[in-house]
């Protein structure tokens, strides 16, 4: 829960900044950079938490899962990243990206998901790491996103929300104690994120008004938090 509530929803933040025309301002660039680093750190912490919370009580098993996770990341950086960079290099501007490159990339993503799931972390972590190392320069990443966006947004994402809704039982929140705990968790999460960001921004000599704005921007929530909560629920 701590990891999920500490994440800043990067896509939601980008949309808010774009609509408010703050994307190219200093506050917007600072918020986007901080959110990107925040998301990467949160996924690393999530992988660590999953590795340490395995059903096996032996600490050696958790250590093995953690070491395998580190080895997987190194493997992706050393082997898969150069391969993706080679395919991106062979897809220059103005020329269509070959379908075989798209198929290979998606196969690599599925393979990374399978590896991390087999290790005992989670399939999403493998896909996330694979997505990070995809070269963002040139048309390769844009074409890849365009190819899968319609399927994901029109079919897979709604089904995921349906699945999350089926797992949620709001009726269990009954009584003053339950509602009080719910309000306390929400308040603590928002207060900690806003005040923490605001305080660090002031220490870094960011103007007061921009520090307040940055604090509220970093408190945006979205799909990533729901994914993390579902992972935690499944691992419980």
At 58 the pLDDT is 65
> Nearest Cα to 143, choosing from 96, 207, 198?
96
At 103 the pLDDT is 92
At 119 the pLDDT is 85
43-49 contact pairs (CB < 8 A, 24+): 43/125, 43/128, 45/3, 46/3, 46/122, 46/125, 46/228, 46/231, 47/121, 47/122, 47/125, 49/3
Residue with tokens 């949160």: 42
Model pLDDT for residues 183-219, shown as the tens digit of each residue: 998 898 889 889 999 999 999 898 999 999 999 998 8
Phi-psi region of 205 (alpha: psi -120 to 50; beta: other; left: phi over 0): left
What percent of the chain shows pLDDT beyond 90? Answer: 24
At 53 the pLDDT is 64
- Whether residue 55 has pLDDT greater than 60: no
Distance between CA atoms of residues 159 and 153, nearest Å: 10
At 92 the pLDDT is 83
At 81 the pLDDT is 94
- Whether residue 236 has pLDDT greater than 80: no
Residue range of the domain that includes 178? 2-235
Across all residues in the chain, what is the average pLDDT?
85
At 21 the pLDDT is 85
Model pLDDT for residues 65-116, shown as the tens digit of each residue: 888 888 999 999 999 999 999 998 988 887 888 889 999 999 999 999 999 8
If one compares 78 and 230, the residue with the highest pLDDT of the two is 78
CB proximity list for 120: less than 8 A, separation 6 or greater: 50, 51, 54, 65, 68
Check residue 132 and report its DSSP letter. Answer: H
Model pLDDT for residues 105-114, shown as the tens digit of each residue: 999 999 999 9
Q: Give the number of domains in the chain.
A: 1
At 78 the pLDDT is 95
21-29 contact pairs (CB < 8 A, 24+): 26/210, 27/210, 27/213, 27/214, 27/217
User: b/e per residue, 21-36, with b = 16+ CB within 10 A?
Assistant: ebbeeebbebbbebbe
At 123 the pLDDT is 84
- Whether residue 25 has pLDDT greater than 90: no
Grade residue 138 by pLDDT with cuts at 50, 70 and 90.
confident
- Whether residue 126 has pLDDT greater than 80: yes
| Of 99-108, 129-138, 152-161, highest mean pLDDT | 99-108
């Amino acid at each position: 829960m701590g990891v999920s509530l500490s994440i800043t929803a990067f896509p939601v933040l980008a949309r808010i900044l774009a609509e408010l025309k703050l994307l190219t301002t200093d506050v917007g660039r600072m918020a986007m950079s901080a959110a990107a680093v925040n998301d990467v750190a949160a996924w690393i912490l999530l992988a660590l938490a999953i590795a340490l919370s395995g059903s096996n009580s032996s600490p050696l098993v958790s250590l093995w899962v953690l070491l395998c996770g580190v080895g997987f990341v190194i493997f992706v950086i050393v082997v898969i990243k150069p391969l993706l960079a080679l395919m991106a290099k062979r897809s220059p501007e103005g020329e269509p990206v070959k379908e075989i490159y798209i198929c290979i990339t998606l196969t690599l993503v599925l393979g990374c998901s399978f590896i991390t799931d087999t290790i005992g972390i989670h399939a999403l972590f493998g896909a996330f790491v694979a997505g990070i190392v995809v070269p963002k320069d040139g048309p390769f990443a844009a074409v890849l996103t365009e190819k899968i966006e319609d399927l994901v947004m029109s079919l897979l994402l709604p089904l995921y929300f349906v699945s999350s809704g089926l797992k949620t039982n709001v009726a269990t929140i009954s009584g003053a104690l339950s509602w009080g705990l719910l309000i306390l968790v929400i308040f603590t999460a928002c207060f900690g994120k806003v005040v923490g960001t605001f305080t660090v921004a002031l220490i870094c000599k960011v103007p007061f008004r921009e520090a307040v704005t940055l604090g509220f921007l970093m408190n945006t929530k979205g799909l990533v938090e729901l994914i993390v909560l579902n992972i935690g629920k499944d691992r419980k």
